[in-house]
Chain A
Amino acid sequence: MKFVVCLKQVPDPETPASAFKIDAAGKKVVPAQGIAPVVSPFDTQAVEAALRIKDAQGEGHITVLSMGAASARDVIKHALAMGADEGVLIDDPALTDVVDPFVTVKVLAAAIRKIGGVDAVITGRQAADWDWGVTGPGLAEELGMTQATFAKAVTAQNGNLVVERVLGDGFETVSIPTPALVTVSNELGDPRYPQLRQIMAAGRKQVTNYTLADLGLSAADIAPRLTLEKLYIPVKESQVEVIEGETAQEKAANLAKKLREAKLI
């Protein structure tokens, strides 16, 4: 099977709230000092999902695809070290600070068409920066593929993908014909961690660079449908009262009393 896995480079989502800053005028996030950007966590799991199918089938080809700045080469390298076969980076000055996933979908879809003959596209359920969760289903529609979102497990059976999906109140299994698009959720489990030998080998794998022109796209093709009016950090009011007491029992009694006074018990 021929896979494309989409990866986004994002500011580390574990950045402590105190280090999270916004440039309100520029309506963008200021990179936290000393905290390197990472592969959006669900995307490493998307790579893992493709690798598991490839391992099970004993064959297959995985292209990892990222739209981003030159630094996004790092997320491609990481996926290549995990075991992906080749990388494609779409880096174009017209694409800096894209907010609208509509733009992302147009660009990634053009690249996937150019790669050609793809049986399965795998993405994360949502990117850990904008938390849209739009790109996967958007790509599926754009490419005319059947979709299955929020996968916790994916296997290939007779030209179909069998996907276990995480629902709000349980799980379901769907079978979809290829070409198909799957979005992966954290329930898939831990992605493999590249070994030194694989990191070395990844250096020899091919990474192709595309610009918008290479994809046959003009600025008009990617005119956003959304306008960002404002980006801000909400204020959390903190007025914590730490409950006093010598022993746990005393603290519990004092808390219970407060909750009773507040009519919460």
Chain B
Amino acid sequence: MAEGVLVIAEVADGKLNPLTAEMIAAGQRIVGEVGGIVNVAIFGSNAETLAPEAVAAGGDLVYTFAEAQLDEYLTDTYVPAAEMAISVADPAIVLIGQTSNGRDLAPRLAFRLGAGVVMDVTEFSISGGQVSWTRPCYGGNARAVLAVNTPLQIATIRSKSFDPLPADTGRAGDTIPMESGIDAGAVKQKLVSRETAQAEGIRLEDAPVVVAGGRGLGGPEGFKPLEDLANVMGGAVGASRAACDLGWYPPSQQIGLTGKTVSPDLYIAVAISGASQHWAGMANSKNIVAINKDPDSTMVKNARYAIIDDYKNALPALIDEVKKLKG
């Protein structure tokens, strides 16, 4: 009988991405109430070396698919590989990351398997063995709570929504090497090229301080003082979609509903109005500072601290003062 959870791991920079550990922790919470174990499926050549990481994060049983054809994500290879993992693990619930790969994989897999799918889950509750999934909708303005009626449920999990368990390298867990059995003839997508931007310095998602800029910066040169501030504070620079759409900053640095989710200790929003779709990506920041000309903007109203001024005056002054404090 289908029971327990299967987490589809995601590998980034040769390691399991932080979201994988967050999903495993969420999985442990689920099986604690509804029974079963947390299975983890890892795809790609170095799957076996990564298995201990998944166990330390709380995985009970790890299926590794150590195949070079799974080193790069393609819908046409990952759907059958995930299908194989599901058929051996036989879970009631599959958790997949709400990343660009997971957003591509989860819905297709759900339709392949006749499963109900809930995207972008940020919370859940369990009562009477039934999971209720909470997700933002209407651009972050609303939350919906949904139940899935099919025997197999698939949910994608937004990063930073669940705390990982402390890594326990002494934990016991089995690893089972698997083969995906992908039918090469069914792989119709051809990868022509891929350019991934290696962020210089600290990654946006991991930075304790994020300095983000919006349309009010007036041009790409407006990001220079943001980079300077991020440098002195040991942070990373993000952007609103408006700034990315204008070509002032790369889309990989976009924060929000359709961009990255960040939850730094300090989020400094410079010349960003605070649209709900932007909030969706930074609402969990521990402290929010708004630097904006407009005291009535949503960003200012919902921040912890605000400086009402032109960023052109405020930022050089702030860089200066932070430098003084840092000595």
Contacts and interface: CB of A to CB of B under 8 A. Distances in A.
A242 B138 CA distance: 29
A102 to B, nearest CB: 7
A257 B141 CA distance: 33
B196 A169 contact: yes
B307 A168 contact: no
Instruction: Determine chain B's interface SS by DSSP, over half rule.
Output: mixed
A166 B197 CA distance: 12
B111 A138 contact: yes
A125 B314 CA distance: 37
B326 interface: yes
A133 B107 CA distance: 8
Contacts of B87: none
A220 interface: no
Q: Among A14, A175, A259, find the residue whose CB has the most chain B CB atoms closer than 10 A.
A: A259
A251 interface: yes
Contacts of B111: 102, 105, 137-138, 141-142
A136 B148 CA distance: 20
A35 interface: no
B266 A264 contact: yes
B306 A176 contact: no
A238 interface: yes
Given A146-B76, A251-B307, A252-B307, A129 B138 contact: yes
A183 B314 CA distance: 41
Interface in B298-315: 298, 300-310, 313-314
B104 A137 contact: yes
Contact of B108 (A137, A249, A255): A137
B117 to A, nearest CB: 6
A214 interface: no
A25 interface: no
A129 B306 CA distance: 31
Given A240-B303, A262-B287, A174 B143 contact: no
Contact of A166 (B108, B251, B298, B321): B251
A148 B107 contact: no
Contacts of A126: 258
A55 interface: no
B215 interface: no
B164 to A, nearest CB: 19
Interface stretch (A65-73, A200-208, A227-235): A227-235
A255 B119 CA distance: 39
Instruction: Determine chain A's interface SS by DSSP, over half rule.
Output: mixed
A14 B146 CA distance: 25
A150 interface: yes
A255 B283 CA distance: 21
Contacts of B68: none
Interface residues of B, number: 88
A238 B197 CA distance: 36
A29 interface: yes
Contact of B302 (A173, A240, A257, A260): A240
Contact of A229 (B146, B245, B300, B325): B146
A248 B302 contact: no
Nearest to A109: B111
A240 to B, nearest CB: 5
Contacts of B306: 240-243
B192 A174 contact: yes
Interface in B217-273: 233, 241, 244-245, 251-252, 257-258, 260, 265-266
B136 A131 contact: yes
Contact of B301 (A22, A132, A240): A240
B144 A231 contact: yes
Contacts of B117: 102, 134, 225
Contact of B138 (A131, A142, A225, A228): A131
A121 interface: no
Interface stretch (B45-53, B57-65, B172-180, B183-191): B183-191
A224 to B, nearest CB: 7
Contacts of A130: 137-138, 144
A219 B142 CA distance: 28
B190 A226 contact: no
A186 B258 contact: yes
Given A134-B107, A174-B190, A224-B149, A185 B258 contact: yes
B277 A17 contact: no
A13 B145 contact: no
A140 interface: yes
Given A172-B195, A173-B192, A248-B307, 15 more contacts: A15-B141, A17-B298, A22-B142, A102-B117, A132-B107, A132-B119, A149-B104, A166-B100, A166-B251, A172-B194, A227-B146, A236-B279, A240-B305, A253-B321, A259-B287
